[in-house]
Amino acid sequence: MPRIAVISDIHGNMAALDAVLEDLADQRPDEVLVGGDLVGRGPEGSAVVRRIVELGWPTVRGNHEDYLLAFRRHEVPAEWLRDPEWSASRWMAAELGADDVGFIDSLPFTFTSRLAPELRLVHGTPNSNREGIGPWSSERRVAEHLASIAEPLLVCAHTHRPLHRELPDGTVVNVGSVGLPFNGDRRAQYAIFEPRRAREGAPVEGWSVELRQVGYDLEATLRIYERSGFLERGGITARLLRIELEKASPVLVPFMTWAEARGVAPAPEALDRFFEDFEPGQPLAPFFDRLRNG
């Protein structure tokens, strides 16, 4: 039976990718697929793209591929090309080479595994690479996503939180994130799939799913934030991304939402006040509710 690895959401973190590549060399899967978000939210987008191109692994297009392409083409609101809170995105878009841009622009939205056509890969959901399936997704919603494809295994990423749900009509797995996990576990994460069949050629009866975690030199990536100039020139957003990486949980969106709700400029000077209100890793829904209700 083929073993298929799916890695995703590398987000410009080469040390994390290298650690996963080493683990894959031991695991020796028959096929490796990539779930998108090679770039964005990290300083080494170009290096990650070049490595994936070299490896030749089939890759779907994440929302961060779309996002940085939009910056390159100035197809974003005028203030995003000007305001300091978007300087990290401008830096990451400029860091990509022309070949990298050509590659990420060629990526398809979805495909099935060559060795196990019952496995469908998307970045977010079958309809969107900006919407995700996470621990908060209702059983009904997950079943709807599964019903919208022909295959019995839906593999996704985007939320940076691994998940494995068995439903009456199939299986949904989120492989988590290699370069920027949000589940509190700082290790690089990915998954390996193996179809279960009664015999060769028989229909797939189910999947064995292994969610893997690989330790890596996080300090090396943090140093690259400094050495590359990303931290210095990426403004408040680069600082928040660095904290996300250290905490393995979301900080950027909570900060931006907090700043808007409190009427505060999203600038470094606001960080101390923000961290009086927000503890990285705390449940987000009650925090956002509290902001909405003043």
What is the binding site for Fe ion (CB under 5 A)? 9, 37, 62-63, 158
Which residue's CB is nearer to Fe ion, number 62 or number 126?
62
Instruction: Between 9 and 44, name the residue whose CB sits nearer to Fe ion.
Output: 9
Closer residue to Fe ion in complex, CB, 207/216 = 216
> Sign of torsion, CA 131 155 123 221?
positive
Nearer to Fe ion, 185 or 194 (CB): 185
Quote the DSSP letter at residue 79. Answer: G
Closest CB to Fe ion belongs to which residue?
Answer: 37
- Please say which residue, 157 or 204, places its beta carbon nearer to Fe ion: 157
Whether residue 191 contacts residue 212, with contact meaning beta carbons closer than 8 Å, is answered with yes
Q: Which residues neighbour 195 within 8 Å (Cβ) at sequence distance 6 or greater? A: 1, 2, 116, 118, 119, 204, 206, 207
Q: CA-based angle 223:227:229, to the nearest 5?
A: 120
Indicate left, alpha or beta for 40 from its phi (over 0: left) and psi (-120 to 50: alpha). left
Could you tell me the smallest distance in angstroms from the CB atom of residue 253 to Fe ion?
A: 12
For residue 11, the minimal CB distance to Fe ion (Å) is 6
- Helical (H) or strand (E) element with 110: strand 110-112
State phi, psi for 41 to the nearest 5 degrees. Answer: 60, 25
**Rounded Cα distance, 274 and 291, in Å:** 12
**CB 242 to Fe ion: min, Å:** 16
Comparison of 35 and 235: residue with beta carbon closer to Fe ion: 35
Q: CB of residue 156 vs Fe ion: minimum separation in angstroms?
A: 10
Q: How far is the CB of 1 from Fe ion (least distance, A)?
A: 30
Q: In what order do the strands lie in the sheet with 204-214?
A: 31-34, 4-7, 188-197, 204-214
Cβ neighbours of residue 255 closer than 8 Å, sequence gap 6 or more: 236, 240, 266, 270, 271, 274, 278
Q: How far is the CB of 66 from Fe ion (least distance, A)?
A: 9
Q: Report, in Å, the least distance between residue 255 CB and Fe ion.
A: 17
